[in-house]
Amino acid sequence: MRNMLVIIILFLGIFFSCYYDNPPEPLPIDPEQVSFKTHILPILENSCSTSNCHDGTREPNLLNEVAYKNLTAGGYVNLLFPKESSLYKAVDFQENAMPPGGPQLPALDIELILIWIQKGAPND
C-alpha cells in the first residue's frame, strides 16, 4: 500500500512538472478586445469569402455586408457550447475542414473565432 502511494506521488510530480516546463503561450491580443469587425471579419474576408467559396455562391454567404447576420441567424454559432459551433468546428478541422483543399487557418485565427463566440458573438 505504501509503495502504491509513493508511485502515485511520483507520477503526479512528474506530470505537473512537465506542465510548468512548457506553459501555454499567452495570446498576443487581450480576449476582451476581440471584436467581429476588427478580428473576425478580416479572417472571413481573407480565408472564407473568396471566389467560389462563401462569396454568395455557397451558404453561408460571408461577404462583409451580410456575414454577421448569416453566421448568427443561420445557426453557425452556438453561444451555449462555443466549441460545438459549426463555424468553430469547421475552421478547427473537426467538421467539414475549412478552407477545403487549403491550409488550415493559423492557430491564432482559430482561437480568435472561439473567443468571439465565447464572448457572445457580439456585432462590434
> 95-113 in b/e burial notation, b at 16+ Cβ within 10 A?
eeebeeeeeebeeebbbbb
User: Each residue of 26-73: pLDDT tens digit?
Assistant: 778 888 999 999 999 999 999 888 878 898 888 999 999 999 999 999
C-alpha 4/C-alpha 23 separation (Å) is: 29
pTM greater than 0.85 (yes/no): no
Q: What angle do CA 110, 112, 54 make, to 5 degrees?
A: 60
C-alpha 36/C-alpha 38 separation (Å) is: 6
User: Each residue of 3-23: pLDDT tens digit?
Assistant: 776 677 766 666 666 555 566
